[in-house]
A and B are shown apart, each in its own frame.
Chain A
Amino acid sequence: MSPKTLYDKIWDAHVAHEADDGTCLLYIDRHLVHEVTSPQAFEGLRMAGRKVRAPEKTIAVPDHNVPTTPDRVNGIENPESRIQVEALDKNAKDFGIHYYPVNDVRQGIVHIVGPEQGWTLPGMTVVCGDSHTATHGAFGALAHGIGTSEVEHVLATQTLIQKKSKNMKVEITGKLQPGVTAKDITLAVIGETGTAGGTGYVIEYCGEAIRDLSMEGRMTVCNMAIEGGARAGLIAPDETTFEYVKGRPHAPKGAQWEAAMDWWKTLYTDEGAHYDKVITLRGEDIAPVVTWGTSPEDVLPITASVPHPEDFEGGKVDAARRSIEYMGLEAGQKLSDVEIDTVFIGSCTNGRIEDLRAAAEILKGKKIKDGMRAMVVPGSGLVRAQAEEEGLADIFKEAGFEWRLAGCSMCLAMNPDQLQPGERCAATSNRNFEGRQGRGGRTHLLSPAMAAAAALTGRLTDVRELM
């Protein structure tokens, strides 16, 4: 048998039907659902008189719209947001799917809840009407975002119509330097490939620096595979993965666990398997990075300066000019001189316990800059509870951060957490698009430790200076 990549193996194990032209029906093991991209899909089912084919494999949680202030226990004020969340309540009930309502302690961002509850397991196919579904690839699961029509398709048939993507290997060799995190890896990779560099591919991340990451870090890396244009990102499961999964509420137990492990241990890329594209970065060469523009590929080490549009080629010249103007920056300006007024720590990229620990480590015993608006939005109610137990919440609050309830919050600003025009935010989220965090708002993407450093100094800051 010819050697296979990890992606090949998972793909082959899920093809329910293949047509002559290579169009496949790919079976879906887990379907995650949230309130924004699902109402029209459920409506479609109702109109056609269809049922959810596998409600036991379908998990719903509201996250995009929900307020993160403590008063949300009294209900959602914004009528449109409330209607969407109520629609999800009703759809979950009517169609009999697993559900974590707003005020359940297990509620949180769908991509944090799935792994936390053991729904996401190695070798699975996982989809969700959300592009950051790539997150689950950290477990060696083939996971990607889909549109609402495809949400309806999966609800009705538990399959997706797919053609296979190409294989891409991204290897990060060696060790990371102090102050450099999974977020810096994933941004550095996008800086290297560009936001369209992964289009048509599934990426497998490998190499020593990836192996050394915790599951939290691996989720951060895979989360942003979509920002590089890839359909999905994958990391082969290993002891770190199995250790994380074991004992989670929906992870297999007993004999089932043993059987699962037998298969999971075969989920790696065979020696000599073919990759269509290979990128290699040296872990030692990756610095703490920030974005300067309005595309995640606009990334540079914190020690660099805002580039000149003329430094680029083709369509990127105009795009860079537009970005620099939108961001209110000057070409040649040092990134570490850029003053910020808002800090957001959270999101499916960096809203896990390890992210909060990394930020708290920098903030411990210190105060954020006067006038700074800073908030921590834990990725789930359980992350929040754990952070409180570990004393992290106190560190954040004493430093001057707002300590919020779980949700997507200011990553996409669908709830009341938004930037005002011209406000500038150091954000641990995943997109720095124009208006992403609020119309006219300006976003610099960075790691949780870097966000904490910026909160203290009031400007983009090299976290290594504070360590």
Chain B
Amino acid sequence: MEKFEKVHGVAAPMPLINIDTDMIIPKVHLKTIKRSGLGVVLFDEMRYHDDGQENEEFVLNKPAYRQTEILVAGDNFGCGSSREHAPWAIKDFGIKVVISTSFADIFFNNCFKNGILPIVVEEEHHAILMDDAHKGENARMTVHLEDQKITTSDGVEIEFDIDPHRKHCLLNGLDDIGLTMEKDHHIDKFEDHANQARPWV
């Protein structure tokens, strides 16, 4: 996985709450057996009209937001299905950071597996970042993972929390499976014990 250090880029506002994974990527695009190429169908039903033409009203279709790298979204972002196609599409579009007041659990986990940084902020900070995102392409936000800090286009600094293990993995681009396999002996030991204690499993 690519290392995640710092993002300095356009932030787009999506204040709608409860943006679900069906909105992020509808099921018609889940039939792929690959991970790549889903950026073009990100937010498909909001982004395109029934005839396939772009909906000019949709934020990511506006000239100012076509190069969005940071999404500032409403509460409970990513609720619904476990489909990892949602972060795959977000990543493929070029978005590297999603900021909200809360995320659905599975989506949140899926982001880290794909080098996307989901950031939870307090409502009051969320409002500041949402305002900044509304300013458009000349207003660029900076997200600094090492320092756990977001800087708005006019220099307001907002700190955020992140699980230390997840931060370490993102910063170093580490693959979870490789890390876990280094602990194979612990898993072997657990299995021996569990086979004794619960042989019916």
Q: Name the residue in B80, B113, B165 with the highest tally of chain A Cβ atoms < 10 Å from its Cβ.
A: B80
- A423-464 toward B: CB 8 Å interface, digit per residue (1/0)? 000000001011110011000000000000000000000000
List B contacts of A52 (CB < 8 A): none
Question: Which of B24-32, B61-69, B140-148 faces chain A?
Answer: B24-32
**A434 contacts which of B22, B74, B113 (Cβ < 8 Å)?**
B22
What class of interface size applies to chain A in its complex with B?
Answer: 35 or more
Instruction: Give the contacting residue for B76; candidates A145, A195, A414; CB below 8 A.
Output: A195
Chain B residue contacts of A152, Cβ below 8 A: 177
Bound together, the chains give a CA A131 to CA B110 distance in angstroms of 12
Do residues A256 and B30 form an inter-chain contact, with CB atoms below 8 A? no
Q: How far is the CA of A157 from the CA of B182 in the complex (A)?
A: 10
The answer to whether residues A199 and B18 also contact, given A27-B191, A431-B80 and a CB cut-off of 8 A, is no
Residues of B contacting A40 in the complex (Cβ-Cβ under 8 angstroms)? 33-35, 84
Question: Which of A15-23, A102-110, A209-217 is found at the contact surface with chain B?
Answer: A15-23
A135 on interface, CB distance cutoff 8 Å: no
Q: From residue 130 to 186 of chain B, which have CB atoms closer than 8 A to chain A?
A: 163-165, 176-177, 180-181, 183-184, 186
Write out, one digit per residue, whether chain A residues 63-97 have a CB within 8 A of any chain B CB (1) or not (0).
01100000000000010110110010000000000
Q: Is A219 on the interface with B (CB-CB < 8 A)?
A: no
Q: Does A229 sit within 8 A of B, measured CB to CB?
A: yes
- Partner pick for B105 among A153, A200, A316, CB 8 A cutoff: A200
Does A29 have its Cβ within 8 Å of any Cβ on chain B? yes
Q: Does A374 contact B (CB under 8 A)?
A: no
Taking the closest CB of chain A, its distance from the CB of B59, in whole angstroms, is 14
Report B7-36 residues with CB < 8 Å from chain A CB: 15-18, 20, 22-23, 26-28, 30-35
- Contact A199-B187, Cβ < 8 Å, known A149-B113, A259-B200, A319-B16: no
A residues near B32, Cβ cutoff 8 Å: 80
Flag if B17 contacts A319 (CB, 8 Å). Answer: yes
Within 8 A of B (CB), among A141-171: 144-150, 152-153, 156-159, 161, 163
Chain A residues with CB under 8 Å of B35's CB are 40, 148
Chain B 86-117 interface 0/1 with A at a Cβ cutoff of 8 Å (1 = within): 01000000000000001111100110011000
B172 to chain A, nearest CB (A): 15
B33 and A199 form a contact (CB under 8 A): no
Q: How far is the CB of A307 from chain B (nearest CB, A)?
A: 16
CB contact list, A1-47 vs B, under 8 A: 13, 16-17, 19, 21, 23, 25, 27, 29, 36-37, 39-40, 43-44
A-side contacts of B183, CB under 8 Å:
16-17, 25
With A17-B186, A414-B27 as contacts: A129 and B177 at CB distance below 8 Å: no
Complex A-B, nearest 4 residue pairs according to Cβ-Cβ distance, in ascending order: A149-B113, A252-B200, A80-B31, A16-B190
Q: What are 19 A-B pairs at a CB distance below 8 A?
A: A17-B187, A48-B177, A64-B30, A124-B201, A131-B81, A146-B109, A147-B113, A149-B84, A149-B110, A150-B113, A156-B180, A159-B187, A196-B79, A199-B105, A200-B105, A230-B105, A260-B200, A412-B27, A433-B20
B interface list, Cβ under 8 A from A: 15-18, 20, 22-23, 26-28, 30-35, 45, 50, 74-76, 79-84, 87, 102-106, 109-110, 113-114, 163-165, 176-177, 180-181, 183-184, 186-187, 189-191, 194, 197-201
